[in-house]
Structure 1
Amino acid sequence: MTDKRPSRPVRRTFTAAYKTRILAAYDALPEGSPERGALLRTEKLYHSHIEHWRKQQDNGTLAASTGKPKKDAESEELARLRAENKKLKADAAKLAARNDKLAGELGKTRTALDIAGKAFALLENISSSADSDES
């Protein structure tokens, strides 16, 4: 008995050089132009390929075949450091916002203390002039 099931289709793979070449060609065309769509149709690609490859290029993980970075220690460490860097940048932005808020509150407090000091001086002046009038 022979098995008549169709074989599973082979997924296309793309080399890093091909991805880079297509990204460069795509980016060289004006945004929104029909030539971009024509390039994708000619290469039998989807816009999602371009988006995915551009993310990989920005992350420095533009690898061959499926586009997944190789699972070696160096790339895992690089991914961990990138994630930590992203978290630290987010934390720094939060701290900067909090610092700005606290600086504003400090300014208000200083103004209030300045006003309180002037009011105290005024009341002291009024009190001393009232004491001198009574004598």
Structure 2
Amino acid sequence: MTMTLADQTAMTGQDGRVTSQQPEQPKRRTFTKACKARIPAAFDALPEGSAERGALLRRERLYHSHIEHWRKQAETGTLAASTGKPVKSAEAEELARLRAENKKLKAANDKLVGELGKTRTALDIAGKAFALLQDISSSADSEKK
């Protein structure tokens, strides 16, 4: 393995000893909502197919896909202040909560319907057993007389 001078410098401490620490990972950039609105507007103001558009993207260190993504977010109203997943609205969160609750209630209802069926069957059997015992008892009483 070959090491460059920059690698060796990064691995040595102030006293010249070699350390095993890795350099810190770069942080992901975040963009404000205003920046996400300003850059596509500046991009659209430039003539289509011009070199200035490419220069703007290079200067801001962006890709054309960033501009397209931000436009789509602005159209749908999900343009967040930083990159990443769009923020769910309060209505969407409430709907998700209600769907989860509905799913739980349907499962509980299905369980109770099954138990009710078993209870009805047991009561039907108990009723028939009671009727049979009454018939046996009445026939035994009639034989004694």
TM-score normalised to the size of structure 1?
Answer: 0.49
Instruction: Give the number of the structure whose residues are more often helix, by fraction.
Output: 1
TM-score normalised to the size of structure 2?
Answer: 0.46
For CA contacts below 8 A with separation 6 or more, give which structure has more relative contact order: 1
Q: Which has the larger radius of gyration?
A: 2
